[in-house]
Structure 1
Amino acid sequence: MADDTLNILHVSDTHSALDKVEQLKEWLKKRNQRVDLVLLSGDIANMPMDFDLPLEDIDKYTKDMEKMINSIASIQPNMYYIPGNHDPISSFTKETCLLPVATPTTLPYNVDKKFVYIAPSLCVAGFGGSLPAFLRNGDKFWNSFPYKTVEEYDDALKGVTDGLFNQGSVLQPDDVLIFMTHSGPNDSGTTLETRDVTSPVISGSDKLLYALKSPKAQQHCILNIHGHTHASCGKTMIGNITVSNPGSLKENGRFAIYELYKDPWKLSATSYHTLPLK
């Protein structure tokens, strides 16, 4: 990290595609791209969303997840991640509320339901997993994990957003927040799956949208980064907050790079990239 800037590589939905990570390393090296921090927003492995998966299969996907994390961390070990709906249940924090400020002793570090400082006055909080997705007529289109219903997801999310944006918040007056979630907010182009324009899929969270609109979020949060909705790469704004989905590294070869500068921390540049087809 330079004295006044921070380059963040954002990768999501790798789904155990180690070959894509190797291609990403080549892309970064060829362009001499500086990376100070890596954020990985879930679906690291490619586990089926099966609550009754045999233990030996869960162990396999746990090892797949560890391989992927280690591979991406070889780009830059200063890395924080959350699990997605295709990652093992063991990667999710069991507590139902935001934990006190965490001090990682080793990196990479899982920030699911955690709050950490990554630089002076710059922090990351995380919330992994997904909620079900629906068609406009109300029919369920995607299942979810580890939350089986919208209500389960909302209850767990509330514990985190209350800890961030309500009375008794862990945020200090000068703190600037990056909120990393796997599913993004509803009413955002980054969560509306429109590959079939006649039947779009709504994959975002109303509760997350509501939380991001709160005064405390608008004051402190500069980025809500997420994944989950593979084809809806790009960004939008919710008030002062940039919402960003890099797309899927596995499916589309996509990723994002954010440049922040400080005093106070602000987002100065956002770029989206696609690996060349091989």
Structure 2
Amino acid sequence: MSLRSRILLAGDIHSKVDNVYRLAMALQTKKLMPNLVILTGDLINANHDYQSPSSPSSSSVSSQLTRMRTTAEETQFRAVLTAFGSISRNVMYVPGNHDPREAFPDLVPAVDLGVRDEGRERRDNGEEALKHAPLWQRMMYETGAVNFHSRLVRLAPNLVMAGLGGSVPQTDYNRPNTTIHPGYPYTDPLLKTALLNLLRAKRHFLTLHPAFNIIAKSHRRADTSPSSLPSAPTTPTDPDTHILITHCGPARCATTDTYPKPWLCDSKRIESGSDGVRSVVTHMWCQGVQPPPPSSTSQITTPTGDTQQQPPLLFHAHGHAHTSWGLSQLGNVPVINPGALRDGRYAVVTVERSWGEEGRVWRVEDVRFGCVR
């Protein structure tokens, strides 16, 4: 008996909400409605390069403009997540370099809302505290969309998803020390460290209810309340498989190799990927080259001396590079860039859990790319 689920990959919406609704109609027509929606970042067009005026005479105007920008960004962010809610009740995302700072849980942590089910007074206090919560936390309550940046989520038996948003600086492909566009909020070494820490923090799951078999229960929305139950345990005899979702893809990969103006012969080739992401994806324990020993815990010792469970990658998906959409391969790991939904592009991945030589394992059954106009 196998378990099959369909996952929609989309990203780089850049506030173009109309394309989300066009996508919903296209999926309905093609009978490709997904069990889970995963967004790879850049939901809107926040500009982190913007510098507010610093002169005393313009301070009040500056603060007013800042408030207006923040309000507009929140409105657009909510609109995008609400639109994806029309496609699936399970929407999860990582922020991109063009999303607001408050979309990064590690930069702006959640506020304590208290227990909201212990009387009227506590509920009122929780609702008041929510007004001062960061954007990502408020959106979770308002739209049900889950931000899993720098977190692990158990989607189904022995299937774990890891997410890391943000980007590193884009550089000239032939002159790596020449920065074409700054990254946000990472440098390459910081992103690699964050990614390694994330994959090693195997037991620190984002708690969802029901966290067991989320992708097989599209009719049930994940409960994101503070009292949500802890995630269900894995099946001890089967090794975990990982899905890695980032906004910035691996360096020197076909899905990150971009030209700003490909129709011009002198167009500069840009490296939009991360060396840190590439080094992690190509590492032998993510490649599944080193098999788990015959034990109930399936633990291995990595070259860094850490002991952890075997985490082979089922696939790695990312966004950021608009024109380099498609399917590539780094060793044994498929790398998927669904393309920019701003331009109408998306991908649908079908995964299946069935019996194999290693026990019950997850496999990528099908990857389809599409475009809406």
Instruction: Please state which band the TM-score falls in when normalised by the shorter chain.
Output: 0.7 to 0.9
Matches for 1:19-58 after TM superposition, within 5 Å? 19-50=18-49, 52=51, 54-58=66-70
Q: 1:201 aligns with which of 263, 270, 284?
A: 270
Counterpart amino acid of residue 181 in structure 2 = W
Where does residue 70 of structure 1 map in the other structure? 82
Where does residue 132 of structure 1 map in the other structure? 169
- TM-score (norm: length of structure 2): 0.65
Where does residue 94 of structure 1 map in the other structure? 106
Q: Equivalents in 2 of 1:247, 1:125: separation in Å? A: 20
Q: Equivalents in 1 of 2:199, 2:9: separation in Å? A: 22
Cα distance, 1:64 vs. partner? 1.2
Cα displacement string for residues 100-150 of structure 1 (whole angstroms, at most 9, x for unaligned residues): xxxx99942111000011111111110000000011223211222123x33
Cα displacement string for residues 41-98 of structure 1 (whole angstroms, at most 9, x for unaligned residues): 00011111236562431232122112101111210011210000010111112179xx
Q: Equivalents in 2 of 1:35, 1:56: separation in Å? A: 36
Where does residue 246 of structure 2 map in the other structure? 181
SS of match in other structure, 2:79: helix
Contact residue 115 and residue 124 of structure 1 kept, 8 A: yes
Q: Equivalents in 2 of 1:259, 1:84: separation in Å? A: 24
Where does residue 212 of structure 2 map in the other structure? none
Contact residue 223 and residue 241 of structure 1 kept, 8 A: yes
Q: Equivalents in 2 of 1:202, 1:13: separation in Å? A: 17
Cα displacement string for residues 175-217 of structure 1 (whole angstroms, at most 9, x for unaligned residues): 1111000000011010010343642100111111111112221
Mark the CA change 1:76 to 1:221 in structure 2 (over 3 Å): closer, same or farther.
Answer: same
Counterpart amino acid of residue 275 in structure 1 = V
Where does residue 13 of structure 2 map in the other structure? 14
Q: Equivalents in 2 of 1:62, 1:240: separation in Å? A: 39
Q: Equivalents in 1 of 2:160, 2:107: separation in Å? A: 20
Where does residue 257 of structure 1 map in the other structure? 348
Q: 2:183 aligns with which of 134, 138, 144?
A: 144
Stretches of structure 2 that go unaligned for 5 or more consecutive residues are 53-65, 109-139, 206-233, 289-311, 355-360
Stretches of structure 1 that go unaligned for 5 or more consecutive residues are 97-103
Cα displacement string for residues 217-261 of structure 1 (whole angstroms, at most 9, x for unaligned residues): 1122111100000000111111211100011001x2100000111
Mark the CA change 1:88 to 1:169 in structure 2 (over 3 Å): closer, same or farther.
Answer: closer
Q: Equivalents in 2 of 1:68, 1:169: separation in Å? A: 28
Where does residue 286 of structure 2 map in the other structure? 217
Matches for 1:87-126 after TM superposition, within 5 Å? 87-94=99-106, 107-126=144-163
Contact residue 248 and residue 319 of structure 2 kept, 8 A: yes
- TM-score (norm: length of structure 1): 0.86
Mark the CA change 1:50 to 1:127 in structure 2 (over 3 Å): closer, same or farther.
Answer: same
Cα distance, 1:40 vs. partner? 0.4
SS of match in other structure, 1:262: strand
Mark the CA change 1:222 to 1:6 in structure 2 (over 3 Å): closer, same or farther.
Answer: same
Counterpart amino acid of residue 133 in structure 1 = Q
SS of match in other structure, 1:247: coil
- Of structures 1 and 2, the larger Rg is shown by 2
Contact residue 114 and residue 125 of structure 1 kept, 8 A: yes
Cα distance, 1:169 vs. partner? 9.4
Q: Equivalents in 2 of 1:134, 1:223: separation in Å? A: 26
SS of match in other structure, 1:243: strand
Alignment RMSD (CA, Å): 2.5
SS of match in other structure, 2:348: strand
Identical-pair percentage: 28
Contact residue 186 and residue 202 of structure 1 kept, 8 A: yes
Aligned length: 263
Q: Equivalents in 2 of 1:217, 1:154: separation in Å? A: 14
Counterpart amino acid of residue 183 in structure 2 = S
SS of match in other structure, 2:175: coil
Q: Equivalents in 2 of 1:5, 1:162: separation in Å? A: 27
